[in-house]
Amino acid sequence: MVLVGGVLMFTRPVPPVSPENAFRLPENAQITRLVVHKSERKMFAYDGDNLLKSYDISLGFSPIGHKQFEGDGKTPEGVYRINERNAQSGYHKNLGISYPNQQDTAFAQSQGKSAGGLIKIHGLPNGSGALGRQHLRHDWTNGCIAVTDEEVDELFRSVVHNAPIEIKP
């Protein structure tokens, strides 16, 4: 637990590097799908049914439940696509996730709100890369999925365009 600016933040220990994510993927690796388990703070990268690697992740600052509205701090749940890449991100690099889909937008509009958007897999804020795995101590994004800068470099290179990403509770 840490007190930051009068706000009590719960922190968790940084997980040890597991054998399946202690190596770099080969330069020619192709990730054809991603599966996120929010409750485990893990993202699994596959080529077809073959598990290539797992990544420890941080989520939105209010991680429980499906993202419904702009600013709710939740990471979406469901099946989306990796639909864009940005090498000039404010968070080292990012891969865009196709949230919101039609159902997400329709639900938010039915409540008179915006579903939000700009959900990404990204690295650390520019200039903060030295934090490395320390970012895993708490969920800190606005709904995105965060990994280290080195890991987002690997994902940026290896994830095929339009690859599905399934985000589970």
Look up 161 and say whether it is catalytic: no
The 3-state secondary structure of the chain, one letter per residue: CEEECCEEECCCCCCCCCHHHCCCCCCCCCECEEEEEHHHCEEEEEECCEEEEEEECECECCCCCCCCCCCCCCCCCEEEEEEEEECCCCCCCEEEECCCCHHHHHHHHHCCCCCCCCCEEECCCCCCHHHHHHHHHCCCECCCEECCHHHHHHHHHHECCCCEEEEEC
Kindly state the greatest CA–CA separation across the chain: 47
Instruction: Write down the catalytic residue from 37, 66, 135, 144.
Output: 144
Instruction: Write down the catalytic residue from 37, 122, 135, 161.
Output: 122
Look up 144 and say whether it is catalytic: yes
- Residues designated as active site: 122, 144
